[in-house]
Amino acid sequence: MPKTTAEKIATKREQIQQLQNEEKQLLQKQKAEERNARTRRFCSRHGLLEKFMPDLANITDEQYETFIRKGINTSYGQKLLAEIVGDTGASTTQQTAKTTPQTQAAEPDKSGGGATVEG
């Protein structure tokens, strides 16, 4: 039995609503997966950093931020990162250098000793 035009329209609207709900669910799932991947990356990288510099576990958040700013977020650190990442990272590094004030970079300590952060 053929449906009327109004019934067809109602059916299509229901289908559209179902597809929109499915899209919302998929977007929520995608965001959750991205958050989980980011959290895993943070934990993994910080764990690796603490592996090589165990004293980091004993400093405050403010001291940690100072360590990152003065020890890693320098022109030398940005140059090193650009070399590791390649051309793709270089453009990002150049953008970061333009928007982020940089401290003067000294040559890294080649004695093999670790950095000391004083708070």
The model's pLDDT over 32-52, given as tens digits with 9 standing for 90+, comes to: 999 999 999 999 999 999 999
Q: Is 81 helix (H, G, I), strand (E, B) or coil?
A: helix
Are 8 and 42 contained in the same domain? yes
Q: Is the pLDDT of residue 13 over 50?
A: yes
Residue 86 confidence (pLDDT) = 87
Q: Specify the residue for token string 């965001």.
A: 31
Summary mean pLDDT of the chain: 80
Q: Which domain holds residue 15?
A: 1-58
- Of 25-34, 47-56, 62-71, 97-106, least confident by mean pLDDT is 97-106
| Structure tokens given for 77 | 């650190």
Are 46 and 65 contained in the same domain? no
Are 82 and 53 contained in the same domain? no
Are 64 and 37 contained in the same domain? no
Whether residue 49 lies inside any domain: the answer is yes
Cα separation of 73 and 68, whole Å?
Answer: 6
Q: Please answer whether residues 58 and 118 qualify as being in contact, where contact means their C-beta atoms are separated by less than 8 angstroms.
A: no
Q: Please answer whether residues 52 and 70 qualify as being in contact, where contact means their C-beta atoms are separated by less than 8 angstroms.
A: no
Q: Is the pLDDT of residue 106 over 70?
A: no
Between 111 and 80, name the one with better pLDDT: 80
Whether residue 53 lies inside any domain: the answer is yes
- Of 10-14, 18-22, 75-79, least confident by mean pLDDT is 75-79
Cα separation of 31 and 73, whole Å?
Answer: 29
In the chain, count H helices and then E strands.
4, 0
Whether residue 110 lies inside any domain: the answer is no
pTM: 0.55
Domains of the chain: total: 2
Are 42 and 32 contained in the same domain? yes
